[in-house]
């Protein structure tokens, strides 16, 4: 069941990313870096606010041992109450916030952002119950249709009509509205007007830790944007944001599959009393993540210039070095997400929050220090913070699973060895054909695919390779005793 759920999540995320990529290719040619920068800076506030209003309530509904209509209604009431309170606060301080992040347009944008915010809060319990029931097929269909029709149709049409950054803002609102209607139709949840402390306490206890963990995680993912727009302005953030989005496409796709299916699956196993085998499942998840992300990581680094030119166009050249640096961190980024999902499934929400807080501080410090050397410096600062966070999260997850770094290394080493070898050879081929850009890109991609596949075959089947080597050796030295090493 978990595998089928994972396939549906993967299909939904893949379809969403393919549609998003097509939309970005169009919008990048209709809008300016300034337009994207204004929206990216504005959405920092919205993203952080969504974490606040959720308060881990959705995660509680997924992992709770038993649910009643009253508990679900209480969750909805809490969501709407906090969302309304935050909306009033943000609307009142839109001007000062806009001045602080160097985006004066925020005053005009804020009402539309808050409308999307309230809709997202209203359907969060419904979407969480669908995840609890592992109805990922419907969620995938909803995500794809709302992205294609709601966001894509509206944003592209308005951008073509010259609406500038408003095309992105109104497209997001249309997407959120369409998704809200579909999810609520499938799983309607109504507020409970008479709440009791016995219903609220466990929700706040677990949800408080999840809230802190999500808040710190989202802060870490957005604080570099605040540093850039404050120090360099929205245009610079436009270049950085587009490079980050290209890098994050595959991480969001694969990371979402692991996060949603593993958390729901582990929670379901816990409710059913099937908690055995956690260490092997954790290591297998990391190995599968390495298998998927290493080729994408290498090819994005090798072909960064071609990717930017094809997807964004020639006016986005400044995004190329940023994409190259950010691509180097894709393995670590996906790895810490897998570890974080495992920690969350174990209920260690406050331990997770503490590590995400440290990560946010590291990202802010790295981005601020690196800003002295421009956007590439910011990217290197974020990369350093990412590696440290990966080590911290994976160490914690290994401790909870009862495993060790030695076991992790043994599981991941075939993919790391094959990936790095293929990467080095592909880079050599690319440089050797540097005078023929199109041919060098194709040759580098083909070389990586061939060497990576061969490398995995060899490292994953070392016993078979050893048998072949022994037979060759015996044919050369028939009188010599050759012992197979176990």
Per residue in 373-396, pLDDT (tens digit) is: 999 999 999 999 999 999 999 999
State the average pLDDT over residues 121-129.
Answer: 88
Residues 6+ apart with CB under 8 A from 1: 134, 265
Q: Rounded mean pLDDT of the chain?
A: 81
3-state secondary structure of 375: helix
**Tokens 């059913």 belong to residue:** 272
State the average pLDDT over residues 8-24.
Answer: 77
Dump strand ranges (E) for 38-101.
none
Residue 249's CB is within 10 A of a number of other CB atoms, namely 19
Q: How far is CA 181 from the centre of its chain?
A: 25
Crossing angle of helices 405-432 and 374-401, in 10° steps, is 150
Residue 400: predicted pLDDT = 84
CA dist 340 to 187, 199, 251, 334, 396, Å? 28, 27, 14, 10, 9
CB 402 within 8 A of CB 266: no
State the average pLDDT over residues 244-264.
Answer: 74
- With CA atoms as reference, report the closest residue to 27 among 300, 245, 324: 245
Task: State how far the Cα of 417 lies from the Cα of 457, in Å rounded to an integer.
Answer: 11
**Tokens 């020639």 belong to residue:** 314
What is the pLDDT confidence band of residue 279, given thresholds at 50, 70 and 90? confident
State the average pLDDT over residues 103-117.
Answer: 86
In this structure, what DSSP letter does residue 314 have?
G
Question: Is pLDDT above 60 for 126?
Answer: yes
CB 327 within 8 A of CB 307: no
Question: Is pLDDT above 60 for 3?
Answer: no
Which contacts (CB < 8 Å, 24+ apart) does range 172-175 have? Answer: 172/43, 172/116, 173/112, 173/115, 173/116, 174/150, 175/146, 175/147, 175/150, 175/151
- pTM for the structure as a whole: 0.69
State the average pLDDT over residues 60-86.
Answer: 83
Question: Is pLDDT above 80 for 65?
Answer: no
Per-residue pLDDT of 128-164, as tens digits, reads 888 887 787 888 889 889 988 888 889 999 999 988 8
- With CA atoms as reference, report the closest residue to 152 among 138, 170, 140: 170
Residue 343's CB is within 10 A of a number of other CB atoms, namely 22
Residues of the chain with pLDDT > 90: what percent?
A: 19
Virtual torsion, Cα 67, 69, 75, 80, nearest 10 deg: 160
State the average pLDDT over residues 167-196.
Answer: 88
Question: Is pLDDT above 80 for 109?
Answer: yes
Number of helices and strands (H, E) in the chain? 20, 0
What is the pLDDT confidence band of residue 29, given thresholds at 50, 70 and 90? confident
SS3 content of the chain, % helix, strand, coil (to 5): 85, 0, 15
């Amino acid at each position: 069941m978990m595998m089928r759920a994972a396939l549906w999540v993967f299909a939904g995320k893949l379809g969403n990313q393919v549609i998003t990529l097509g939309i970005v290719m169009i919008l990048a040619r209709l809008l300016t870096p300034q337009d994207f920068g204004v929206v990216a800076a504005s959405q920092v506030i919205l993203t952080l606010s969504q974490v606040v209003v959720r308060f881990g309530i959705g995660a509680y509904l997924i992992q709770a041992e038993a649910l009643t209509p009253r508990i679900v209604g209480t969750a909805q009431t809490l969501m709407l109450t906090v969302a309304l309170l935050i909306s009033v606060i943000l609307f009142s301080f839109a001007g000062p916030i806009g001045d602080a992040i160097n985006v004066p347009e925020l005053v005009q944008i804020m009402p539309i952002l808050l409308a999307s915010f309230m809709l997202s809060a209203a359907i969060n319990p419904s979407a969480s119950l669908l995840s609890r029931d592992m109805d990922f097929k419907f969620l995938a269909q909803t995500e794809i249709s709302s992205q294609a029709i709601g966001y894509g149709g509206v944003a592209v049409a308005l951008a073509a009509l010259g609406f500038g950054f408003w095309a992105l803002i109104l497209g997001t609102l249309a997407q959120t509205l369409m998704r809200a209607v579909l999810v609520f139709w499938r799983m309607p949840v109504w507020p409970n007007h008479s709440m009791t402390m016995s219903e609220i306490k466990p929700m706040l206890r677990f949800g408080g830790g999840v809230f802190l963990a999500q808040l710190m995680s989202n802060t870490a993912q957005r604080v570099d944007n605040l540093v850039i727009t404050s120090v360099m302005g929205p245009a610079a953030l436009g270049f950085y944001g587009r490079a980050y989005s290209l890098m994050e496409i595959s991480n969001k796709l694969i990371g979402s599959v692991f996060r949603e299916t593993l958390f729901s699956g582990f929670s379901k196993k816990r409710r059913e009393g099937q908690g055995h085998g956690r260490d092997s499942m954790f290591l297998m998840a990391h190995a599968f993540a390495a298998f998927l992300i290493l080729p994408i990581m290498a090819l994005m680094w090798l072909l960064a210039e071609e990717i930017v030119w094809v997807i964004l166009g020639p006016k986005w050249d400044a995004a190329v070095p940023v994409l190259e640096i950010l691509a180097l961190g894709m393995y670590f980024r996906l790895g810490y997400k897998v570890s974080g999902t495992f920690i969350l499934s174990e209920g260690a929400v406050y331990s997770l929050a503490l590590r995400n807080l440290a990560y946010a501080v590291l990202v802010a410090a790295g981005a601020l220090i690196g800003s002295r050397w421009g956007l590439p410096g910011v990217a290197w600062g974020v990369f350093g913070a990412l590696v440290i966070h990966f080590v911290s999260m994976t160490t914690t997850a290994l401790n909870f699973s009862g495993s060790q770094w030695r076991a992790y290394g043994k599981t991941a080493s075939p993919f790391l060895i094959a990936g790095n070898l293929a990467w080095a050879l592909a880079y050599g081929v690319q440089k050797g054909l540097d005078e023929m850009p199109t041919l060098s890109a194709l040759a580098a991609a083909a070389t990586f695919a061939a060497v990576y596949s061969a490398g995995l075959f060899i490292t994953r089947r070392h016993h078979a390779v050893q048998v072949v080597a022994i037979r060759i050796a015996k044919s050369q030295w028939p009188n010599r005793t050759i012992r197979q090493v176990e």
